Amino acid sequence: MVEDTANASSSQKLMQIGTRLDFVAISAKNVTKPSQTRLTELVGYRSYPKSLSNACNRIRQNSRLAHVSNEEEHEALKDLAVTTYEELENPNPIHYHIGLSYNDELGTYTWEGGVEDITFSKWDTNYPDLSKGKCVRAEVKSNAEVVWRNVPCSKAPSKAMCQTIACDTDNYCS
C-alpha cells in the first residue's frame, strides 16, 4: 500500500500512504531509518458553495487551506485533484484553491495563518496579477501542467485543497 512518489535526495521523502474518500495521506520517511515513517498530514479535496473562509475547518478542526512548499506537494495535490475529477467523470476544467492570498497589511502574499515563507511558486505567465483577485487558485492546463492564478476570494462555487495534521500510532488525536 505504501508507494514512493518522490525522488528526493535528502533524508526525507514524501510518500503516498493511500487514499480514502477525497483525502490523501502524506508522510515523511526517514531514509536512514525506514521503520520511522510518520504520517504528517492529510490533504482533502472538497467543493465549497460560497466563501473559502473557514471552509477547511468544516471538514476537521484545525484544518486549513493547503500550503504548497515544494514540487512533491504540488504534484501530490495535482494527482489528487485529477483522480477525484476522473472518478466523478467531471468534464469541467480542474482547479482548486490553495492557502495563498495577498495580504494588504504586509504588502505581500502569505499562506493561510500568516505564514510568509513563500520559497516555492508555480505562477502562470503574467501572474501574479492582483487586478484578477487576491486569492490563489491552482489550475490544471490541457498539457497537465498546473499553474497558479489570482482569482477573487469570493468566487463561488469553488474547490479547495485542505490539509490537517494527521494522527499517528504514538500520539493519538483527541
- Asked if the structure places residue 22 within a domain, the reply is no
- Asked if the structure places residue 168 within a domain, the reply is no
- Asked if the structure places residue 12 within a domain, the reply is no
Domain count, the chain: 1
Mean pLDDT for the chain? Answer: 70
Range of the domain at 149: 47-162
User: pTM to 2 decimals?
Assistant: 0.69
- Asked if the structure places residue 167 within a domain, the reply is no
- Asked if the structure places residue 97 within a domain, the reply is yes
Q: How far apart are CA 167 and CA 17, in angstroms?
A: 13
Interval 30-46: pLDDT, tens: 334 444 434 345 555 55
| Contact criterion met (CB below 8 Å) for 48 and 158 | yes
Q: Which CATH number covers residue 145?
A: 3.10.100.10
Pick the closest to residue 85 from 130, 144, 12, 125 (CA basis).
144
- Asked if the structure places residue 173 within a domain, the reply is no
- Asked if the structure places residue 58 within a domain, the reply is yes
